[in-house]
């Protein structure tokens, strides 16, 4: 027996198809039984538990060691959990060439995520060139000025960010005060959404993100996307003949905003349609908003629990980039990418029928001790992680490997570069404005011992309470 669901169900079990799993100390897994040869079993009901969400890594270790391809009969899917297998699958455009249809199109529309082959490359090359390299560098001044503006609002008399002031100290919930708004504000600005529509843009973003996954808010997400599409269609028609631009703090023209650029981009000699431009806008909204929000909160949560490493980035701000990538390796808010296989595939002795739902578990790859030493340890100085230029090809030289938070290969996250810049620049501006900062531990949730801080687990923390003393501005 290699799977608990191979056994005849115990009809007397009170929870039936559900099971309550006790919360274990971090790094230890619930005993789910063993096969005759002593191999630990995986009960797929664990994946629906709060224990798994807070303490996933010992279960992924069991899967990597004993079930590198795990057939989950309960959820009718397969999990691929080892780094090298996931890497190979991402580069296999024939065997694992598509993201399952409908995984994003419900709310985000027909995005490039669900395209493959030549059609994907055509769109990816058009979109991608506006989010990397020199094109992105031109747009970076917008990031710093927006971060400064948000922090300045903490001291306004009407207190729009909910900051509590106690003498020289502020108690700040960093999500509400900064991380929720900063990345989506940057996205709106570089896209070219007019200032008078920014509040509406925030609503579109919130509704679309809440509507992903077929939840009870799905209908609102669809309405928000249609409303966004109608609005962007108007902008597109205007900017086909009258493009608009981004400006620096002195009012000098930097470059066209991205919507204006896309209005004049061509695919096979034809300008992009309004639907194609809108689908790109929706994709950037999703990738550049929620992902970066989680990255900012997770980064500060981890660094402030490792004060020696936080002091190191203060002493040498060039280390913010290494800290960002180690955070993504250690506690990425991006779980992985689903795939459909084009034909029958056998991997590690497991037969995967064509058309199966296959989860490439990036968070497991990032904790694979075949690649990263002591993977549960957060260490911005680790010598086995590559944290330089983001590469679609990944990096594997001199004992250093790329993390898998953005994936690799043709479908590497198109917002990876702007997410890196948003997080690094935003974190650096925050650190420059903090004379002193510490976690407000009395406001933060605790773990099962009711004493230590709760782990990040899967995803990202939802709130981050800080006590800060601000630098005095001249």
Grouped pLDDT means (10 residues each) for the chain, 474 residues: 44 57 96 94 95 97 98 95 96 79 55 52 56 61 85 89 89 94 84 82 76 69 82 89 81 81 76 78 68 92 98 97 97 86 95 94 97 98 95 92 91 80 93 96 94 94 95 68
Per-domain boundaries in the chain = 1-91+335-389, 107-161+174-332+405-427
| Cβ within 8 Å of residue 11, ≥6 positions away | none
Q: Where do we find the tokens 């896209």?
A: 191
Within 10 angstroms of residue 174's Cβ, the number of other Cβ atoms is: 23
Q: Which of 292, 358, 307, 354 lies closest to 75 in space, CA to CA? A: 358
Q: Where do we find the tokens 């703090």?
A: 249
Angle subtended by helix axes 274-304 and 218-239, to nearest 10: 120
Write down the pLDDT at residue 467: 97
Write down the pLDDT at residue 13: 52
Say if domain 107-161+174-332+405-427 classifies as CATH 1.10.630.10.
Answer: yes
| Cβ within 8 Å of residue 428, ≥6 positions away | 317, 320
| Cβ within 8 Å of residue 331, ≥6 positions away | 298, 302, 378, 456, 460
Write down the pLDDT at residue 125: 56
Write down the pLDDT at residue 2: 47
In a 3-state reduction of DSSP, which class is residue 87?
Answer: helix
Say if domain 1-91+335-389 classifies as CATH 3.30.43.20.
Answer: yes
Write down the pLDDT at residue 312: 98
Write down the pLDDT at residue 221: 79
Q: What's the CA gap between 227 and 260, in Å, rounded?
A: 20
Write down the pLDDT at residue 56: 97
| Run of H or E residues at 118 | helix 117-128
Query: With b meaning 16 or more CB within 10 Å and e meaning fewer, what string describes 386-414?
Result: bbeebebebbeeeeebbbbbbbbbbbbbb
Is the dihedral angle over the CA atoms 158, 423, 417, 90 positive or is it negative? negative
Q: What's the CA gap between 46 and 35, in Å, rounded?
A: 17
Question: How far from the centroid of its chain's Cα atoms is residue 362's Cα?
Answer: 11
β-bridge mates for residue 385, sequence order: 401
Its pTM stands at 0.88
Write down the pLDDT at residue 124: 56
Write down the pLDDT at residue 409: 85
Write down the pLDDT at residue 98: 66
Q: Which of 76, 87, 31 lies closest to 58 in space, CA to CA? A: 31
Angle subtended by helix axes 416-433 and 182-191, to nearest 10: 130
Contact between residue 193 and residue 201 where contact means Cβ atoms under 8 Å apart = yes
What is the number of helices (H) and of strands (E) in the chain? 17, 16
Q: Which of 81, 84, 86 lies closest to 68 in space, CA to CA? A: 81
What phi and psi values does residue 346 have, to the nearest 5 degrees? -115, 130
């Amino acid at each position: 027996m290699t799977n608990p669901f191979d056994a005849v169900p115990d009809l007397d079990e009170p929870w039936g198809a559900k099971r309550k799993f006790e919360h274990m100390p971090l790094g230890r897994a619930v005993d789910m039984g063993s096969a005759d040869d002593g191999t630990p079993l995986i009960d797929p009901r664990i994946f629906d538990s709060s224990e798994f969400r807070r303490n996933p890594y010992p279960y992924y270790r069991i899967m990597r060691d004993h079930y590198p391809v795990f057939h989950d009969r309960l959820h009718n899917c397969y999990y691929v959990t080892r780094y090298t297998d996931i890497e190979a699958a991402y580069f296999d455009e024939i065997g694992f060439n598509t993201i399952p249809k409908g995984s994003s199109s419900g709310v985000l529309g027909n995005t490039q995520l669900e395209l493959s082959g030549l059609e994907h490359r055509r769109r990816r090359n058009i979109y991608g060139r506006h989010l990397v390299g020199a094109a992105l560098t031109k747009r970076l001044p917008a990031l710093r000025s927006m971060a400064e503006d948000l922090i300045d609002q903490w001291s306004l008399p009407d207190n729009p960010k909910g900051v509590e002031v106690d003498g020289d100290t502020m108690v700040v919930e960093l999500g509400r005060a900064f991380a929720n708004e900063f990345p989506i504000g940057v996205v709106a600005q570089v896209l070219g959404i007019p200032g008078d529509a920014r509040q509406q843009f925030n609503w579109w973003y919130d509704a679309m993100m809440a509507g992903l996954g077929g939840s009870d808010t799905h209908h609102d997400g669809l309405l928000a996307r249609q409303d966004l599409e109608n609005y962007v269609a108007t902008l597109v028609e205007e900017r086909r003949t009258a493009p608009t631009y981004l400006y620096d703090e002195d009012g000098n023209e930097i470059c066209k905003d991205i919507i204006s650029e896309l209005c004049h981009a061509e695919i096979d000699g034809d300008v992009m349609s309004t639907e194609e431009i809108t689908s790109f806008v929706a994709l950037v909204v999703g990738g550049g908003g929620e992902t970066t929000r989680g990255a900012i909160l997770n980064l500060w949560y981890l660094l402030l629990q490792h004060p020696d490493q936080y002091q190191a980035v203060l002493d040498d701000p060039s280390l913010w980039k290494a800290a960002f990538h180690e955070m993504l390796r250690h506690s990425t808010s991006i779980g992985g990418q689903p795939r459909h296989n084009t034909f029958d595939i056998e991997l590690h002795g497991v037969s995967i029928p064509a058309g199966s739902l296959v989860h490439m578990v990036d968070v497991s790859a990032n904790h694979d001790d075949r690649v990263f030493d002591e993977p549960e340890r957060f260490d911005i100085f680790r010598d086995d992680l590559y944290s330089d230029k983001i590469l679609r090809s990944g990096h594997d030289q001199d004992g250093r490997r790329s993390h898998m938070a953005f994936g690799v290969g043709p479908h590497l996250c198109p917002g990876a570069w702007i997410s890196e810049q948003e997080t690094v620049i935003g974190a650096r501006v925050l650190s420059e404005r903090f004379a002193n900062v510490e976690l407000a531990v009395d406001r933060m949730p605790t773990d099962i011992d009711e004493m230590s801080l709760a782990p990040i687990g899967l995803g990202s923390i939802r709130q981050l309470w800080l006590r800060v003393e601000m630098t005095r501005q001249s």
